[in-house]
Structure 1
Amino acid sequence: MPSSSLRVISPSYLQRMKASDFHVLHTVTDYTRYYGLPAPAHPLLTLIDLAQITGQVIPAPIVAQLYTVALKRGLKGTVYYGRQTYDFHEGLLTFLAPGQVVLADPSLDISEMTGWALVFHPDLLRKYPLGQKIRTYGFFSYQVHEALHVSAAEECLLEHVLGSIRHETEQPLDVFSQDLLVAQLGVLLGYANRFYHRQFLTRRLAEHDLLSRFEARLTAHFAQGANHPLPTVQQFADELHVSPAYLSDLLRALTGQTAQQHLHHALIEKAKLLLLSTSLTVNETAFRLGFEYPHYFTRLFKRKTGLTPAAFRVSAP
């Protein structure tokens, strides 16, 4: 029996598709109607029992302008969203932000699917601090490059919070409804963030291997000759087959510094070497490092060292 998996959607495949090929879900009601579910009790949020979703999966790409947090089991087939493959027979949390693409293989079998999905519109959070904070949660910005495995105890904890959310959606709407729903959503996402960081800490071998490969590529880049473009986090993330957000979160967890901070450190160290070991002018040094405009180099160098490149060269022993 094949397990369900998450696989990357080829960018070239998506580029070949026409706008009419995508099924866009703008509202929570659009979402429930698309999957043949009862209308939501709340206009901006719904909690779905995935066992209620029956019938044949439509293989058209789906773009929901909604947030989705889902725990799924029992899928058989392939769902495309992400860079890694996971087994849905165990508890697995996935996260989607508005505008991300999901594509199901036509052979996907959902007849034994269980679990839940919490779907909510960005407008629910817009006037609350959580509306800004949710953008800092890496598990949404990864575009599901990295899913979250949860233990039985963690799953029970999430179920408890979901029970509170479900209870609130079943109450008549009043002036307190939105405040209470957003507060409970904040608790749920706070637990997810804790569990996500726990996952970083329990996958040390794979993470340290990724860190080693990142450092090797960084070293190799600055060992190249002259006039290469400035390195970017996106460039290294692509080479390592992870998202920029995932790479930065992992490096921060392991080293205390983001990917961008690592790049800046390597860049400044290379600049110091050139300033002290060559007769290149400051402008020539900037061009050698890949800066298009030398004043950007001078500004970055001073911000990181407290000295301009010219002052550093003069002050060096």
Structure 2
Amino acid sequence: MKPPEFQVIDTVTDYTRYYELPAPAHPLLTLIDLTAMRGQTLPAPVVAQLYTVALKRGLKGTVHYGRQTYDFHDGLLTFLAPGQVVMADARLDLSELSGWALVFHPDLLRKYPLGQKITGYGFFAYAVHEALHVSAPEERLLESVLRSMQYEYEQPIDAFSQDLLVAQLEVLLGYANRFYHRQFLTRRLVEHDLLSRFEAHLAAHFAQAPPPPLPTVQHVAEALHVSPAYLSDMLRALTGQTAQQHVHHALIEKAKQLLLSTSLTVSQTAFQLGFDYPHYFTRLFKSKTGLTPAAFRFSAH
């Protein structure tokens, strides 16, 4: 099968032209009323070298983002970082589409601390099924910030324009970050189920023989059908530790079990755990326990 051709969009102006939208009032940022996209068809996969924050309603059909397929419903906020691929189902119906999309170029942030800070917002790396569920009051709060941004970027550009736009954008993303952490706390049943499945996956991994390669956060996240960023944020919210720290903890606990209950040498233990090189195992074990594997075995007897 011939792979799909991708439409690459490099600028905010290119974005509005591609989607047949009004030209942007600012070269690096635009706020789009999504009702303007009703009646369009979006068959080609798009790769935009832009950031997008969007709240869509009334979208009938599915949108493919990363490895996930997503149906839009009311109250869902999604985030795209530059270089991410979005592909719409050919039967996507935009006839009742509403909501908004804030599209901005990375150059808007280049000279500001937000240019670095934005890479730490995990929600820009999330798969779309991990979109932010926002309440009606939260929607109104976000939209009030957006109205302030719209007022500013529709004014003639002066020496203060970019400073004010970036400051307002930082407020918007700050609220989004707060709402994400609220979501982790209010959806505890769902997240505790994911935590249980995460722990069960690690236990099953270390129970295999012959030993598979060492588990990575990427591998575990894919097995659980979530993104690595979401998995780490969820675990940190529930336990105070990242996904990598949990993987290391499970690894060390299994290592302790092997060291105390078998006659395997340290090297054999390392291979049993999936390490290619025993000295990597020894280094990790000592960093986590303060003892080498051999010293740990000796101290327990």
Give the TM-score, by structure 2 length.
0.94
Aligned position for 2:272? 288
Aligned position for 1:165? 149
| Letter paired with 1:208 | H
> SS where residue 128 of structure 2 aligns?
coil
Are 2:62 and 2:70, in contact at CA under 8 Å, matched by a contact in 1?
no
> SS where residue 242 of structure 1 aligns?
coil
Measured after TM superposition, the shift of residue 77 of structure 1 is: 2.2
Measured after TM superposition, the shift of residue 84 of structure 1 is: 5.9
Gaps of 5+ in 1: 1-12
Aligned position for 1:183? 167
Q: How many angstroms apart in 2 are the aligned matches of 1:77 and 1:314?
A: 62
Aligned position for 2:200? 216
- In structure 2, relative to structure 1, the CA distance for the partners of 1:145 and 1:77 (3 Å cut) is closer
1:97 aligns with 2:92: no
Overall identity of the aligned pairs, in %? 78
Measured after TM superposition, the shift of residue 178 of structure 1 is: 1.6
Q: How many angstroms apart in 2 are the aligned matches of 1:87 and 1:121?
A: 25
Moved more, 292-301 or 23-32: 292-301
Q: How many angstroms apart in 1 are the aligned matches of 2:75 and 2:216?
A: 35
Are 1:226 and 1:288, in contact at CA under 8 Å, matched by a contact in 2?
yes
Are 2:60 and 2:71, in contact at CA under 8 Å, matched by a contact in 1?
no
Are 1:145 and 1:243, in contact at CA under 8 Å, matched by a contact in 2?
no
Moved more, 262-271 or 229-238: 229-238
1:109 aligns with 2:98: no
Q: How many angstroms apart in 2 are the aligned matches of 1:41 and 1:64?
A: 19
1:17 aligns with 2:8: no
Q: How many angstroms apart in 1 are the aligned matches of 2:129 and 2:58?
A: 20
1:15-164 to structure 2, matched below 5 A, reads 17=3, 21-81=5-65, 83=68, 85-88=70-73, 90-164=74-148
CA deviations on 1:98-157 (whole Å, 9 max, x unpaired) are 111111122222122111100011111122221122112121111323111211110110
Q: How many angstroms apart in 2 are the aligned matches of 1:44 and 1:143?
A: 25
1:247-258 to structure 2, matched below 5 A, reads 247-258=231-242
Q: How many angstroms apart in 2 are the aligned matches of 1:283 and 1:46?
A: 59
Are 2:52 and 2:81, in contact at CA under 8 Å, matched by a contact in 1?
yes
Are 1:226 and 1:289, in contact at CA under 8 Å, matched by a contact in 2?
no
Measured after TM superposition, the shift of residue 91 of structure 1 is: 2.2
Q: How many angstroms apart in 2 are the aligned matches of 1:78 and 1:232?
A: 30
Measured after TM superposition, the shift of residue 168 of structure 1 is: 1.3
- Residue 243 of structure 2, aligned match among 241, 252, 259: 259
- In structure 2, relative to structure 1, the CA distance for the partners of 1:46 and 1:87 (3 Å cut) is closer
Moved more, 241-250 or 105-114: 105-114
> SS where residue 63 of structure 1 aligns?
strand
Across the two proteins, how many residue pairs are aligned to each other?
300
Q: How many angstroms apart in 2 are the aligned matches of 1:25 and 1:241?
A: 29
| Letter paired with 1:94 | T
Measured after TM superposition, the shift of residue 85 of structure 1 is: 4.2
Are 2:34 and 2:100, in contact at CA under 8 Å, matched by a contact in 1?
yes
Measured after TM superposition, the shift of residue 263 of structure 1 is: 0.7
> SS where residue 103 of structure 1 aligns?
strand
Q: How many angstroms apart in 2 are the aligned matches of 1:87 and 1:32?
A: 22
Are 1:95 and 1:143, in contact at CA under 8 Å, matched by a contact in 2?
no
Q: How many angstroms apart in 1 are the aligned matches of 2:239 and 2:107?
A: 36
Moved more, 137-146 or 256-265: 137-146
Are 1:81 and 1:103, in contact at CA under 8 Å, matched by a contact in 2?
yes
Measured after TM superposition, the shift of residue 279 of structure 1 is: 2.5
| Letter paired with 2:87 | L
Measured after TM superposition, the shift of residue 34 of structure 1 is: 0.5
Aligned position for 1:6? none
Aligned position for 1:4? none
Q: How many angstroms apart in 2 are the aligned matches of 1:25 and 1:117?
A: 16
Are 2:61 and 2:71, in contact at CA under 8 Å, matched by a contact in 1?
no
Moved more, 141-150 or 297-306: 141-150
Measured after TM superposition, the shift of residue 87 of structure 1 is: 4.1
| Letter paired with 1:180 | L
